[in-house]
Amino acid sequence: MMDDKQRAAWEKQAYGCRAADLDRMADNPIAGGRMMLAMSILSDAQHLISEELNAEYGGDVSAHRAEEARQFINRAKYLMAEFNQRERALEDALPDMRTALDKLDALTITKRQAD
């Protein structure tokens, strides 16, 4: 298991930033949510490897831009994985929420009948 310093170094090489930074960006209402931010980041990665942007290299992608694109793709993967994990947690909680709502409905009906 990685300690905080190792985790920070791994995140920096994988994403070019900390995962907490990505979470903060995704939680900003302007970002439009995790999936919208992921799509935006993928567009940025696509732009970095575009032939038009790399015309000065004969259309070839420089090592620096390839590394940036890799990190952008990793950022998008992180955000999508987090989105998926949160969706699963909500789906797992739904049966409990439905049961609680059913109990609340039953109590409401009982109270109305008593009045």
Q: What is the pLDDT of residue 10?
A: 97
List the chain residues with pLDDT less than 70: none
Domain boundary assignment for the chain? 4-87
Q: Please report the pLDDT score of residue 34 as a whole number.
A: 93
Torsion of CA 111, 109, 99, 87, to 10 degrees: -110
**C-alpha span between 45 and 47 (Å, rounded):** 5
Output the pLDDT for position 89.
77
* Per-residue pLDDT at 42: 97
pLDDT number for residue 78? 97
Tokens 């190792």 found at = 6
